[in-house]
Each structure stands twice: as C-alpha cells, then as structure tokens.
Amino acid sequence: MNSEPRIIEFTDIDIPVKDVIRRMGYPDSEHEGIAQIKTLMDGELIRAKKLFSPKAVYRMFHVEERTSNTLTFKESDFVIRSDKVCHMLRDSDPVILFMATIGAGLEKVVDTLFAGGESTKGFILDAIGSETADAVADKLHWEILSGLAKKNGFGVTPRFSPGYGDWPVTVQKEFLKVCGGEQIGISTTPSSLMIPRKSVSAVLGWVNDKSNIKM
C-alpha cells in the first residue's frame, strides 16, 4: 500500500451539545444553570461552524523490527520508543500515524473573547473547539481508517497520542515531519505543543484478529 501522506477534508462534523457541556465540567442533569449555558452555546455553535476548517493527514507504515519498547518501520527512520505503544501495537502491521485539526480560526476568536472580558463565551467556544478536534480524530479513526482496514480484512486498535503514558510529547516535532502535518497547516512550538492548539496526533495499528484489539 502507498505510504505517502493522504489528506482528508471534512464537511460533516456534528458535535453533541452534551459532550461540550461535559467537557466544561457541568453535570448531565438539567437545571437552571445548564439551561442558561445551553442558550449561550446555541449562539457559539452557530459561530463555531463558520470558523472550522477540519482536515486530517495520515500515513501508513510497515513494521521492520519490534521489541517490547521499540518499533521501527521500513518506509521511515522514525522510531517509536514506548512500552505502552509497543504493547498496543504488538500484533499490528501496518501502523498508521495521523494528525487532525480544525484549523486556527476558532482559537483566534476565543483569544479575542477572553481578552475582551467575555470569558463565558470564550470558555464555551473553546470547549466546542476541543470536542470538534476530537470528533475529527474519531471520524478519521473509527470510520475512515477502520473502514479501509475492514476492506482489507483487518480491524483497528485504539489510538495513542504523544504526551500520554510513557510516550513523551517531545516526539511531536519528528512525528509532524514524518506524518506530513505541515501539509494541513500544523506546526509545533519549541515545547512540542501543536499549533493550531485544537489538533490531535496519534498512532494506531491494523490487526488481523479483532479479538486482540486491546490496550
């Protein structure tokens, strides 16, 4: 299979209001405070949809060598060094790196809202952005890549992101270069944070036996 970066643009990402409310720390139950937040949220959801530019890029690699804590690939000199990631990918070949983002438009407005003293709207819009970035990653992972895997007789593993567990966020710069994240407008700061902030990077694998899809 082609290991070149593949870019996808999304136009149909819907964000459930309940997920945004949960991210903001409010309970699921209805009460006056939730009703007020939902009223504000309706306006911010309309605003947010005009600010999204959701895109993703992924690249597929075939495993060259694996140990309990390292994974190397035939198409790249990128090395994964992590007990947890290698355990997740222990039965996987190929392996996919991906990056997804909603673009920088929303966070610029969020910054303006906070600077202008409209912190509640800024907080809501920021939560909407975070949920949307996760939704883009979910759609890519569980619909597009899972569907592609199924067509080829595979299942997919969960995903694992730099900065979690024992996989340091410092790999982000190299991850960006190898995956091709700059092609969808992603860059990294000196401290290895992604720009735009509402972006997701992760690795997952294809497996033959779906019963082995475990962390």
Q: What is the CATH number of the domain that holds 160?
A: 3.40.109.40
Domain assignment of residue 1, yes or no:
no
Q: Give pLDDT, residue 211.
A: 46
Backbone angles phi, psi at 214, to 5 degrees: -140, 155
A 10 A CB-CB count for 30 gives 9
Q: What is the pLDDT of residue 212?
A: 47
3-state secondary structure 136-148: HHHHHHHHHHHHH
Domain span at 194: 6-212
Cβ partners under 8 Å of residue 166, min gap 6: 82, 83, 84
Those residues of the chain that have pLDDT short of 50 are: 211-215
The closest of 155, 147, 128, 148 to 211, measured between CA atoms, is 155
In a domain, 109, yes or no: yes
Q: What is the pLDDT at residue 38?
A: 77
Q: CB-based burial of residue 61 (10 Å sphere; 0-12 exposed, 13-18 middle, 19+ buried)?
A: buried
Which helix (H) or strand (E) segment holds residue 38: the answer is helix 32-49
Let me know if 14 is exposed, middle or buried by CB neighbors in 10 A (0-12, 13-18, 19+): exposed
Q: Residue 210's pLDDT is what?
A: 52
pLDDT value for 105 = 95
> What are the structure tokens assigned to 106, written together?
């929303």
Tokens representing residue 165 in the block: 């567990």
Do 3 and 59 contact (CB within 8 A), yes or no? yes
CA distances from 3 to 7, 76, 116, 136, 142 (A): 12, 10, 46, 21, 20
pLDDT on residue 1: 59
- Would you state the pLDDT for residue 214? 42
Residue 162 in domain? yes
- Number of structural domains (the chain) is 1
User: Structure tokens of 136?
Assistant: 């883009």
Name the pTM for this structure.
Answer: 0.90
Say if 40 falls within a structural domain.
yes
Residues 115 and 130: their CA atoms lie apart, in Å, by 19
CA distance 87 to 21: 34
pLDDT at 19: 84
Between helix 32-49 and helix 119-138 the angle, nearest 10°, is: 70
- Name 10's Cβ contacts closer than 8 Å, sequence gap at least 6: 54, 55, 56, 136, 139
